[in-house]
Amino acid sequence: MPRRSWKDIATRLRGMEGAEISSRLQQAFYKRADLFYSRLGFPFDQDPSLSSATARFFFEPSEIPEVLDVLRVRFPRQVEEIIQEAEGICDHRFRLLGYSDLDYGPRIDWHLDAVNHICSPYKPFFRINYLDPAQVGDPKVTWELSRHQHLVILAKAYRLTNNPKFALECFSQWYSWQAQNVYPLGIHWSSSLEVGFRSLSWFWLSFLLGGCEVMPRAFPRDLLRAFSVNGRYIERFLSTYTSPNTHLLGEAVALFFLGTLCPQLASARSWQQMGWRIVLEEARNQVRADGLHFEQSTYYHVYALDFFLHARILAARNNVGIPDWFDQTLLRMLDGLRLLSQAGPPPSFGDDDGGRVFDSNRNRREHLCDPLATGAALFQRGDFKFAAGGLREETCWLLGPDAAQRFDDISPANRATGSNALTDSGIYVMVGSGEPRSQLVIDAGPQGTHNAGHGHADALSVHLSADAEELLCDPGTFEYGGNGVGRNWFRSTGAHNTLSVDGLDQAEAKGAFGWTSLPKTGVERWHAGRNFDIFRATHTGYTRLKHPVTHERWVVNFKAFGWLIRDVAVGAGSHALDLAWHLGPKLSVVDNDIFADDLGNGLRFLPCPGAGWSLETLDEWWSPAYGVKIPAKTIHLRFNGQIPAESGVFLQPVDAHQSQITASLRFDSQEQTAVRVYSLIQGQDRCVALFSPAGPRWSFLGWSTDADLLCCCFTGDRLTALTLCNATFVDWHRQRLWSRPQPAPWCELERPESNKDVTMEIVSTGSM
């Protein structure tokens, strides 16, 4: 670990409570004591007892053939991929994180980072600085191989083919790892989470290979002894104060598995109780009231949800009491994921570390809906089934051979929910009403928890998708280590669809996993209506400047047409503004305002930035998985001068036919009342948004009102829909359409098809 100055240590100690100081001192003692004992030849494993207790895994041995039959019928391509990958594993060629075909040669060196060709030193684990790339390379690569999830692939391939070579290779690699990683030596004892992951993999392979004819006679006892070392280690080195997030959660889940599935070990009962207690505690600590994970990362939300689901299903199999509130927490987490997945997989806000609990290869954005399939079968929810889009292999293993039938018997919801807000996490979802099926997601939440280690500087960033394809993307994570350049760019403000000022991030990076000067985001307007959604928010990320700047973002969803995004830099002085719009990786320039894929589906991007702004399209980056980056187009709208300044952009998902229909975005203003008007014109249709400072009555373009925002839609000259914010009245060409004595935060009106005049009916009215 990096050396700290005595001043830094003293400052950190002053911020600790007694329990944390005690825990850290105890762990420091354990490390050194275990090293001393190891040199004396002390055995760290436990002798199994003759316990008569029984344990149940996710499936019974007799059910394995039935599950395999389901896989062959429902997932024939995945079955072939499992077998093909197992062949490569036998040749010691591995797919790890975003890397493929990593060659570890005839003899696997379990301490090698094969990407950077660096071996971590074989010395006491607490003396290895795994954050130093010169010493260990990228530890995520080294750790990923030793999670041993590839051994589960070998075990499944053996079951699918009855070819003994896959089982023999599995046992060979397991014993090879044991020989090269004698506790407490080596990097693989540096992280309790990694010990936990390894334990979970060993359970899968032990239950899949139970009764295997080529299993070494000593393997069951050797495995149990290895489990005892892992359990002892995790219990002593829990990340209670160092990483009280998915690290602590994963360790607790592993401890619960060890205690539940190894009743022969003397410590099993205490491990089970401790692990389950922490799992329940972390369900309260790590999940916000709206159901999203507190790291402000979509990937970590799914990561945590996987841990919770696996633990919950195993608890039910072994008659461990499951509180009703815990199931309600899982339902909220699943529902949050569902709301983010109404037009395909969710956006990848925040960090993506590339790990998965069941299948490490399912680590891309398109795999993030996997828990919804298990949630659908477990809780019999049609809306989860609709969002999942289909059954998953993982569901069949977790819930047994009848999982497929249980999934099929659910009556699916036939449509998405619509626009919604996850207010505790600051995530706002706007859904389009036309085709293609589309949604825009706004990140207006905190940057993360604690020091926001897995959050990105992306306040008010947006993500747009249609029919499961990204139109405006979040560029991802790429890496955690390396020289820091990639890490810093991918989590920077400029790498997200929001405004950067003077080339700075909204917060100041502090190391690879920390930020200071975190911005505060305030949502001041949210209305989800029938024809319009309206959002307004600001953040304080640039108020730390000598001449402070506040970024104000308005988003108006004209549901049948698309989204208007208005950005205003409020403040004084001269500043350099840069609005970045990161296009989906499949999109390329087709026309002046059309960016589409090879099939002609894509995005109409209509900028209306006003005076002083320039536009440039650049090749930048997108990372689909950890360790991989590929070129992707980014549109930059730039301004350099005195503020206030504002820019407007209209975003419209299009297919090959719609892209042929011309559209334009026009900007008008009335300086005496400070009214700003954006008008989209497309054929006979026209959508208009008029922005004004709150309070005074104003008249412009035939409208007279005191609203601070008026949005309307026309077909030809016929006014069809209207919404107002903070208004007491509205007139259209001197005809009163609506009024009330006190201002309404919002009011939406609609003109029925049967009305021949301009009379409109109130659809809804109320508070924010």
The CATH class of the 419-656 domain is mainly beta
The predicted structure's pLDDT at residue 755: 65
Lowest-confidence pick of 190-199, 214-223, 470-479, 669-678: 669-678
Give the rounded percent of residues in the chain with a pLDDT score beyond 70. 96
- H helices of 553-628, in order, are none
Amino acid at 178: Q
CA distances (Å), 111 to each of 96, 125, 153, 181, in order? 14, 12, 21, 9
CA distances (Å), 655 to each of 436, 596, 652, in order? 7, 8, 10
Q: Structure pTM? A: 0.95
Q: Is 767 a residue whose pLDDT tops 90?
A: no
The predicted structure's pLDDT at residue 1: 44
Coil/strand/helix, residue 177: helix
Match 């002083």 to its residue by tokens.
612
Distance CA 101, CA 84 (A): 12
Q: Where are the domains of the chain?
A: 1-43, 60-237, 238-417, 419-656, 662-768
Residue 360, both tokens: 């490490």
Q: List pLDDT tens digits, range 409-451.
A: 999 777 778 999 999 999 999 999 988 899 999 999 999 888 8
Coil/strand/helix, residue 101: strand
Coil/strand/helix, residue 285: helix
Query: What's the average model confidence in pLDDT over 526-540?
Result: 96
CA distances (Å), 723 to each of 203, 528, 585, 744, 760, in order? 58, 11, 35, 11, 11
The predicted structure's pLDDT at residue 764: 74
CATH number for the region 238-417 comes to 1.50.10.100
Coil/strand/helix, residue 24: helix
* pLDDT band with cut points at 50, 70 and 90 for residue 2: very low
Residue 292, both tokens: 């999203």
C-beta atoms surrounding 684 within 10 Å? 10
**For 691, phi and psi rounded to 5 degrees?**
-105, 135
Nearest to 470 by CA among 440, 498, 434, 435: 440
C-beta atoms surrounding 416 within 10 Å? 20
The separation between CA 750 and the C-alpha centre of its own chain, rounded to angstroms, equals 37
Terminal Cα-to-Cα distance of the chain (whole angstroms): 49
- Are 743 and 726 contacting, i.e. CB atoms less than 8 angstroms apart? yes
Rounded to the nearest integer, the mean pLDDT of the chain is 93
Same fold, 238-417 and 419-656: no
The predicted structure's pLDDT at residue 4: 55
- The DSSP string of 494-522 is GGSSSEEETTB-SSEE-STT-EES---EE
Lowest-confidence pick of 150-164, 237-251, 605-619: 605-619
Query: What's the average model confidence in pLDDT over 444-472?
Result: 94
The predicted structure's pLDDT at residue 670: 87
Lowest-confidence pick of 470-484, 616-630, 644-658, 738-752: 470-484
The predicted structure's pLDDT at residue 483: 60
Q: List pLDDT tens digits, range 699-727.
A: 999 999 999 999 999 999 899 999 999 99
* pLDDT band with cut points at 50, 70 and 90 for residue 8: low
